[in-house]
Amino acid sequence: MEKRNKIKFTPTQVKAIQTGTSEGLCLIVGPPGTGKTDIAVQIVSNIYHNCPNQRTLIVTHSNQALNQLFEKIYKLDINERYLLRLGHGQKQLDAGGKDFTKSGRIDFWLNLRLEQLSKVDRLAKSINIMDDVAYTCDTATQFFSYHVLSRWEKYLSDCSTKGDNQFLIDHFPFTRFFENVLKTNPFDTKDFEKNQIKIQSLWKEIQEIFNEIQECQVFELLKSPTDRYNYLLLKQSKIVAMTCTHAAMKRDEFIKLGFKFDNLVMEESGQISDIESFIPLQLQNINFSEKNRLKRVVLIGDHNQLPPVVKNQSLQKFSHFDQSLFTRLIRLQIPHITLDRQGRSRPSISQLFTWRYKGLEDLEIVKTKPEFQLSNLGFAYEYQLIDVDDGQESEPAPYFYQNLQEAEYIVATYQYMRMLGYSDNQITILTTYNGQKVLLREIFNIKCKNNPLFGMPHKITTIDKYQGQQNDIVLLSLVRTKSYGHIRDIRRLIVAMSRARLGLYVFCKKQFFSNCYETITVFNKLLARPTKLILTKSQDQNRKITDPLDSENTFEIENYSHMQALVNSNL
């Protein structure tokens, strides 16, 4: 059965896929949760099926995004023998135990050769050919030409003159082979037309065996791993994926080998700088006498989220090195398609970031699906700003900001959630600074890691590193109490607000952040609710977020000490 995409695309997504599949430049602006990755995967799939002789290069900013793309491509109806993933992020790739690195693909082809030759051996014995026809790919190919194809052609000729159902079944030359493979009689019906269709299907299976053997023959002839890899890259693979960093590092090698591709699909292009976007376009050397092979360039990203990271402040401020090629093209008013439906967050949570995007609305699924309608177990609200008024930032090293009170409060909240039955994989801890990330990991290692009741959360990382990812519950620490810092950049705030599907809890000093002009739109929404964490006394799993709150069934958490005492009392 063919693997197909089960996602129902919106009209705007369909338009984006059609434009991306057509030749030329395609820009797709995708706000958070609008299905950018699924669109990229569908475009790659369409090109693969409609243009089977073309090679598509996939480039992303991070290994995480590349792995997400590859996992979804693998689940579609794309033959895995044409996939190649370059770079060092393969270890995090969850593709059913498959290895898509160059060494993994070479092993795959060698194993496929042995597997298909064993089928040839069984096929030969089923038609009473006792010679060693499965010794090499070459002998197997000759066996197909002299014995298999001749029998099939004679069978077709006989059927054209004696075309009754019984003759069709009795004289099919490969019945014994398929009985051994399928362990049943392949002809389980007396319907003449169905049997004709079945016979054509069985013959295609035999052809596919020998087609794969022909493709394996090169790996039989090439003995060195380098030669095999080069052939895999230059001839065999139809979908090649890498990060923009890997493309820059290996450009000279690709040029020397004569690497060619027809299509470029770039995800996270809003995070990729001008030069990093340009290098993948120049991975193939085009002579002036040759026709340019590049047919499609698809850039997918969001210029309202985080830009490329440029550590040199002079280059960033005065040379605008932090502007991506994607953003430049949008500013130049190049025609683009903006996705207009988000399917990640609850409608109430999505209000924290949809105001930034004109016309962005919620998909029907986030309004009707039960998990989006039910409240978070034990919590009165699905999102809240939690005031840590006694929290103070510290700076043990330059620009290494930490806030111990916020970190302790978040760890205690995580412990309480785990005691209520939340899965550790449901919860992500985010912060704006690396210093706070280190502090959080230290406290989690001490208090949770070795305790089977708690364990470690899905991820503890910074907002910048978590762009493009999501989780059910996000606990966010803003750290600063002396200056607004990173979160003052509205693009970073949008990323922070759009990572959670079901619950978002922001820990910060309310008095400080409520006065920040740049973030006032988001914080006005957050401050419309109580700034003390409100929990429910009864753990009603069927309470909806629209149900009115009963004051007798809720209680406030005053501070970190109160939350820690609550956790300790339940241990």
State pLDDT tens for residues 514-559: 888 888 999 999 999 999 999 998 888 888 998 888 888 899 999 9
Confidence band, pLDDT 50/70/90 cuts, at residue 564 = very high
Tell me the average pLDDT of the chain.
90
Q: What is the 3-state secondary structure (H, E, C) of 203-261?
A: HHHHHHHHHHHHHHHHHHHCCCHHHHHHHHHHHHCCEEEEEHHHHHHCHHHHHHHCCCC
- Using the predicted structure, report yes or no on whether residue 95 has a pLDDT greater than 70: no
Average pLDDT over residues 305-327: 87
Backbone angles phi, psi at 523, to 5 degrees: -70, -25
- Using the predicted structure, report yes or no on whether residue 406 has a pLDDT greater than 80: yes
Q: What is the 3-state secondary structure (H, E, C) of 504-516?
A: EEEEECHHHHCCC
Confidence band, pLDDT 50/70/90 cuts, at residue 83 = very high
- Using the predicted structure, report yes or no on whether residue 2 has a pLDDT greater than 60: no
Backbone Cα Rg of the chain: 29
- Using the predicted structure, report yes or no on whether residue 401 has a pLDDT greater than 70: yes
Give the per-residue pLDDT at 131: 84
Give the per-residue pLDDT at 478: 94
Confidence band, pLDDT 50/70/90 cuts, at residue 349 = very high
Average pLDDT over residues 371-381: 93
- Using the predicted structure, report yes or no on whether residue 329 has a pLDDT greater than 50: yes
- Using the predicted structure, report yes or no on whether residue 235 has a pLDDT greater than 70: yes
Q: Indicate the helix (H) or strand (E) that contains 556.
A: strand 554-557
CA-nearest of 96, 29, 100 to 58 is 100
Give the per-residue pLDDT at 209: 92
- Using the predicted structure, report yes or no on whether residue 178 has a pLDDT greater than 90: no
- Using the predicted structure, report yes or no on whether residue 1 has a pLDDT greater than 50: no
- Using the predicted structure, report yes or no on whether residue 24 has a pLDDT greater than 90: yes
- Using the predicted structure, report yes or no on whether residue 362 has a pLDDT greater than 80: yes
- Using the predicted structure, report yes or no on whether residue 60 has a pLDDT greater than 90: yes
Q: End-to-end CA distance of the chain: give it in Å, rounded.
A: 50
Confidence band, pLDDT 50/70/90 cuts, at residue 166 = confident
Q: How does DSSP classify residue 421?
A: T
- Using the predicted structure, report yes or no on whether residue 203 has a pLDDT greater than 80: yes
- Using the predicted structure, report yes or no on whether residue 94 has a pLDDT greater than 70: no
- Give this prediction's pTM: 0.89
Give the per-residue pLDDT at 358: 92
Backbone angles phi, psi at 234, to 5 degrees: -85, -30
Tokens of 316: 């960033």
- Report the C-alpha gap between 263 and 275 in whole angstroms: 19
470-512 pLDDT per residue, tens? 999 999 999 999 888 889 899 999 999 999 999 999 999 998 8
| 556 to 67, 139, 378, 526, 534: CA distances (angstroms) | 42, 79, 12, 17, 5
The DSSP secondary structure of 489-544, one letter per residue, reads SHHHHHHHHTSEEEEEEEEE-HHHHTT-STTHHHHHHHHTS-SSEEEESS--TT-B
